[in-house]
Every structure is written in structure tokens, then in C-alpha cells.
Amino acid sequence: MTTAPTPLPRRKLPIGIQTFREIREDDCYYVDKTGMAVELIRTGKYYFLSRPRRFGKSLFLDTLKELFEGNQALFAGLAAENAWDWSKKFPVIRISFGGGMVRSVKNLEQSLDQQLHALERQFGLAAEFPDANSRFKELITHIAERTGQRVVVLVDEYDKPILDCITDTALALQVRETLKDLYSVIKDSDAYVRFALLTGVSKFSKVSLFSGLNNLTDLTLDPNYSSICGYTDADIDTVFAPELDGLDRQEIKSWYNGYNWLGDPVYNPFDILLLFRNRTFQPYWFETGTPTFLLKLLLERRQFTPDLGRIVAPETLLSTFEVDNIPVEALLFQSGYLTIADVWQIPGQMELTLKYPNREVQASLNRCLLQTLSGSPSVPGPQISRLYRLLLARDFDGLKTLFHAFYASIPHDWYRKNKLAQYEGYYASIFYSYFAALGLDIRLEDSTNFGCIDMAVLFDGQVFLFEFKVVELTPKGKALQQIKDKAYADKYRAMGQPIHLIGVEFSRAKRNVVGFEAETIQNL
């Protein structure tokens, strides 16, 4: 008789906990990153890591702090337990800009003064200098000389003061210069530093922010450390196995997995922990911060929204930006709204194709884009759920009515004030974002032997093929005819599913859909 395996005990979900000691002492779930921590320390000295918000950067820094301070009991049963020399303890200086908003240089100076004062008290040093840079350098030197051990410097959210005021270019530049001077102290104190790691969301260029600290090893796109933050599929299936009962494992993957930094794709921890607590699929990570600045930038630059999920850019463009020159691609990638889909590499150059990481981001970002494109946060909501029901019912007359009503609901004044509405891609952008806001399987400009289909949607065992045209005032029937003339449906016949051919024609003069024709091929 086979005995059923004993189920693993459920533990506390460490929601919002960024303290390694609390997680270990309170019997919380913990995904072991200590092996990577030891390897980092063994192989280098100065590091930089960029990851989107809520990815566990603060917890990793706190893990390093406990490791260097030699708190062995916290690492029982973890990879570091037998891989670390516990006879040595190192003093740790940790600075964080994660709390509060920086709205002026004075705010930043106050934050630095408060943090440096606390460190001076901790290590028994009286402040002898008025400026932060001199106090920081004195701290490093004094601590190393007093303890006989070189100092560990950990900086959390190194870039947040700049991002807090990114819409005010002049102020952001002043804040950047203040931080640049502070970080240069780390390299200038090299003889007294054992290890340093700076983490943040964005990566500013070495020239603009790190000219005084240009010896950092960037871990952001290092395949060996791609899962240094976040959870892998294996982590979900082992560490969190007790939480999976009653949840669709494939749904978990499609909703929350997919972030990729040239290694194993990972889940955002915040999403997973809240899913296990609430037992429902919601955009937990996305709702923690509305990308207002990003949406404004996309609008100003007339971004064709269907292109967002297939951007191609060199690694150099994605890995850095300046306060007064922010590429949309870099902002989308670094903030976590896009991730790596594919890599093409030649000597000296890496080209990356981007995609939405998962259904959460695709649906939530396009919902926000719809609000921006329509000029009203209240307009798209009811229509999105109605679109889903109309697709289930294959109600094409209803689809035509829905989109006509939506375009008609956009305030006239919004058209007048926004140049975006004057270009052809605007109409297709709205149409696409509606479908993307549902998190559907969408194929854009999908190639066939005879050309490219504007949009293919695979949903509920059906194939929907869309072709868009812009006309003057009256429909001409060319959109649907092109689908038939170029036999776009042939590519999908082997799927054995019904195929719906839909031609949509927009009029810039009428600012609405003027032609909407549909035919169905019962491909059974």
C-alpha cells in the first residue's frame, strides 16, 4: 500500500516585508537567494542592479547586510550556511531613498542629513563636517579604522530622488548632481570599502551620474543573475507548493510570469504573494503605481500603441537614459512594462526585441492607454467588459455599435487639443488597445505569403482577422476585400477553427468608424 506524501506546511506570506531577519524568524516563505549573494561577494566588489519596483531589491540588500554582519543563525538551512566564513564580520553602511518624496534639493539634503546622523550615532562618530559628501567619506574611513575591517556600502533606490521630480527637468538635474557627488565618495574611499551595491529602477549613464563611480559591474542583463530578484517557475512549484491548491497553475503563469533579463523568466513577488492571499487574479503590481509620466510621454511622441509589444532596440538604448533625453523604449523596459522577448547578437552589439511580460501588464497598461487616448478616465471601462461578451457571442453588429459609440463619446475638445488624433495610427491604436485590455492573444501584422494582417485575435476557439483602412467620409469596402484578395485566412485554416474576416474603415473627418464588414469562414 502506497502512503500519500505528507503535505508541506503552509507558512506566513511575507507581504510587504523587506527585512530578512523578520522573514526568517517569523517562519515566512523564503526563496533562497543567498547562494547568489555569496557568489557576488566572492567574484567582485562594486555592483549595480536595476529592476522594476516591488521586485525584492530591498530584501536582497537586507540579506547582504545580515550576511556581512555574520548573523549565522538566520541562514540555517540556506545555501550560504556552509559557503560563508562566519568568523569574519564586516560593518555595513546602508542608505535608502525609498521613503518619502523628494520635491526639492533641500528635501534630498534633509534625507541625507537624517540618515548620516543615524549612522554616526550607530558607529559613535561626531559629525565634523557640514556637507553630506565629507560626512559620508569620514564615516567610511572612521568605521574601517575603528573596526579593522573594510566597510560594506549598500544603497537602496539610488535613483528615486531623480525619478520623484523627473517632470521638472531643471530640478531633476540639480538632484542628479547632488547624488553624483555623493556616490563618487564610494570610489574615492576604495581602500576602505569591502563591497558596494547600488540598486534602483532606472539606469542613468555613467557620464551623467556615475562619472565618479565608473567601476560598477552592471548585473542588470547578466544571465547568471537574471533571477536575483523575483520568483522562478521552480520556486512557485516548490517553495510555494502549499499555496497552489485551488488555483489554475497555467493561469498563474500567463497572468504573472514572463519578466526576462536574459535568463530564466521570473514572477514579480508582490503579485504572487497577493494572489496566494486573496486567491483571485488581479493586477496587483500594476495598481501600486500609475505610470502617469509614461502615458504622457507616449502621448507626446505619438506612440503607435500596437507597436509597444514588439519594439526592437539596441541594448545600449534600453540600458540607460538621461534626465532631459528619455527614450520611450528605455523607460518601458526599465520600469517593467516591457521585457525581453528575443535577442540578436553580433560582435560588439546586442539587439533586443521587447514584449509585454504577461497578461497583467498587457491588459492594465492598455486600459490606462485607452483612458489617455480618449481623454476621459471614465469612458473605456464599461465598453471593455461589453467587448468580451460580444466576442463570445460573435455579435459583429454589436461590435460595430460598440466602437462607433466609443469614438463618438470622445470629447470634441480632446480632438482639438491633441495632435495625436490627427494621424492615422490613432484609430487603430484605440481599436488594438481595447482588445489588449482584455489580455487576449493578439498577433500584429502577422506575416503570410501575400502580406501582413493588421491584427489577428485568437479567442475562445475562434480566429478573428482585422484589416484597418482610413477613408475620407464614406466606406469603400476595401478593408474586407483585402483580407479576401490576399487570402490572409489560409495561414489559420490548419487550426480547424471558425475564422472571422473583419474590415474596419475609419474617417478622420467624421472621427469615427464608417465601415465595419464581417464574414465568417466555417473552417471545420
Tens of pLDDT, residue by residue over 359-392, are 999 999 999 888 887 776 666 677 888 999 999 9
Predicted confidence (pLDDT) at residue 109 exceeds the cutoff of 60: yes
CATH 3.40.50.300 fits 32-225, yes or no: yes
What letter does residue 243 receive in the DSSP assignment?
G
Average pLDDT over residues 144-156: 96
In degrees, rounded to 5, the angle at the alpha carbon of residue 196 between the alpha carbons of residues 47 and 192 is 135
pLDDT in tens, 56-91: 999 999 999 999 999 999 999 999 999 999 999 999
Angle at 194 between CA 191 and CA 200, to 5 degrees: 115
Cell of 203: 539606469
Q: What angle do CA 269, 275, 277 make, to 5 degrees?
A: 105
271 has a pLDDT exceeding 50: yes
Q: Which of 44-48, 114-118, 332-336, 469-473 has the lowest mean pLDDT?
A: 469-473
All three cell numbers of 64, joined, read 547582504
Residue 7 has pLDDT above 70, yes or no: no
Q: How many CB atoms lie within 10 A of CB 211?
A: 13
Q: What does the radius of gyration of the chain's CA atoms come to, in whole angstroms?
A: 27
Give the separation between CA 357 and CA 256, rounded to whole angstroms.
8
**Residue with more model confidence, 150 or 441:** 150
Q: What is the pLDDT of residues 484-522, one digit of tens each?
A: 999 999 989 988 899 999 999 988 788 889 999 999 987
- Please, which contacts does 395-404 make with residues 24 or more away whose CB atoms are closer than 8 Å? 396/500, 396/502, 396/516, 396/518, 399/502, 399/516, 399/518, 400/513, 400/516, 403/431, 403/434, 403/504, 403/513, 403/516, 404/512, 404/513, 404/516
Strand arrangement of the beta sheet that strand 217-218 belongs to: 92-96, 151-156, 193-200, 46-50, 217-218
Work out the pLDDT band at 1, boundaries 50, 70, 90: very low
Domain ranges of the chain: 32-225, 359-521
Closest listed residue to residue 483, CA positions, set 515, 443, 441, 519 = 519
pLDDT band at 424 (very low <50, low <70, confident <90, very high): low
Instruction: Please give the C-alpha separations between residue 287 and each of 157, 265, 284, 378, in angstroms, as whole numbers.
Output: 20, 22, 5, 17
**Bridge partners of 507?**
471, 512
- Rounded to whole angstroms, the Cα distance separating 342 from 363 reads 21
> 355 near 309, Cβ under 8 Å?
yes
Residue 157 pLDDT: 95
Looking at the predicted structure, is the pLDDT value of residue 429 above 50? Answer: yes
Quick: pLDDT tens for 223-242: 999 999 999 999 999 999 99
- The pTM (predicted TM-score) of the whole model is 0.90
Residue 206 has pLDDT above 70, yes or no: no
- The three cell numbers of residue 268 are 514579480
Question: Among 29-33, 101-105, 192-196, 444-448, where is mean pLDDT lowest?
Answer: 444-448
> Cell 465598453 appears where?
383
The rounded mean pLDDT for the chain is 89
Q: What is the pLDDT of residue 96?
A: 96
**Helix (DSSP H) and strand (DSSP E) numbers for the chain:** 19, 13
Residue pair 515/503 in contact by the 8 Å Cβ criterion? yes
* pLDDT the model gives residue 137: 96
- Smallest Cα–Cα separation from 97: which of 193, 5, 176? 176
Of the spans 206-215, 272-281, 300-309, which averages the highest pLDDT?
272-281
Count Cα neighbours of 484 within 13 Å in the Cβ-side half-sphere. Answer: 14
In percent, how much of the chain has pLDDT > 70?
Answer: 92
Burial of 118 (0-12, 13-18, 19+ CB in 10 A): exposed
Q: What's the rounded mean pLDDT across residues 164-180?
A: 92
